[in-house]
Amino acid sequence: MDVLLGVLLGLALAASIAAGSRLLAAPRRVLSPEATATRAALHTVTSTLPHLRRGLDANSATTAAPYLRALVGSPALALTDGHVVLAFEGPGSEHHCAGDAAAPLFVPAHADRVHVEPHWHCADPGCPHGVAVTAPLHAGQRHAGTLVALYPRDRRLVPEDTQVVQDAAMLVGAQLAQAELDAQGARLAEAELRALRAQISPHFVYNALAAIAAQIHADPDEARELLTDFAEFTRYAFRGRRPYVTLADELRYVEKYLRLEQARFGERLTIRIEVAPEVLPAVVPVLSVQPLVENAVRHGVEAHGGRGHLEILGRDLGPDVELRVHDDGPGMSADRAREVLVGGREDGGIGVSNVDGRMRAAFGEDYGLRIDTAPGEGTGVVMTVPKFRAGVRAS
Query: Which CATH number do you get for residue 125?
Result: 3.30.450.40
192 in any annotated domain:
no
357 in any annotated domain:
yes
Domain boundary, last residue among 137, 157, 184: 184
Query: Whole-angstrom Cα distance, residue 378 to residue 310?
Result: 10
Mean pLDDT of 176-185: 75
**What does the radius of gyration of the chain's CA atoms come to, in whole angstroms?**
30
163 and 301 share one domain: no
Q: Does the pLDDT of residue 158 top 70, yes or no?
A: yes
Give the pLDDT confidence score for residue 1 in this predicted structure. 46
Q: Does the pLDDT of residue 344 top 80, yes or no?
A: no
What DSSP assignment string belongs to 226-272?
HHHHHHHHHHHHH-SS--EEEHHHHHHHHHHHHHHHHHHHGGGEEEE
CATH code for position 260 = 3.30.565.10
Give the pLDDT confidence score for residue 323 in this predicted structure. 97
Domain boundary, last residue among 184, 211, 242: 184
78 in any annotated domain:
yes
6 and 149 share one domain: yes
Q: Are strands 269-275 and 308-316 parallel, antiparallel or unpaired?
A: parallel
Lowest mean pLDDT, pick from 43-57, 78-92, 348-362: 43-57
Q: Does the pLDDT of residue 330 top 80, yes or no?
A: yes
162 and 261 share one domain: no
pTM for this one? 0.54
Please list the residues that pair with 77 across neighbouring strands.
Answer: 89, 149
Write the pLDDT tens digit of every residue in 196-244.
555 566 667 777 888 888 888 888 888 899 898 888 888 877 765 677 8
Query: Whole-angstrom Cα distance, residue 353 to residue 344?
Result: 5
180 and 319 share one domain: no
> Higher model confidence: residue 351 or residue 340?
340
220 and 85 share one domain: no
377 in any annotated domain:
yes
195 in any annotated domain:
no
Q: Count of domains in the chain?
A: 2
* Spatial contact of 383 and 371, defined as CB atoms under 8 Å apart: no
258 and 339 share one domain: yes
CA distance to 113, 162, 236, per residue, from 64 (Å): 22, 20, 41
153-170 b/e with 16+ CB inside 10 Å = b? Answer: eeeeeeeebbbbbbbbbb
392 in any annotated domain:
no
Q: Does the pLDDT of residue 273 top 80, yes or no?
A: yes
78-110 b/e with 16+ CB inside 10 Å = b? Answer: bbbbbebbbbbbbebeeebebeeebeebbbbee
DSSP H helix total and E strand total for the chain: 10, 12
193 in any annotated domain:
no
129 and 253 share one domain: no
Give the pLDDT confidence score for residue 37 in this predicted structure. 57
Please list the residues that pair with 134 across neighbouring strands.
Answer: 115, 148
Give the pLDDT confidence score for residue 354 in this predicted structure. 82
Query: How far does the chain reach from its first CA to its final CA, in angstroms?
Result: 31
Domain boundary, last residue among 149, 184, 219: 184
Q: Which amino acid is at 24?
A: L
7: domain range? 2-184
151 and 20 share one domain: yes
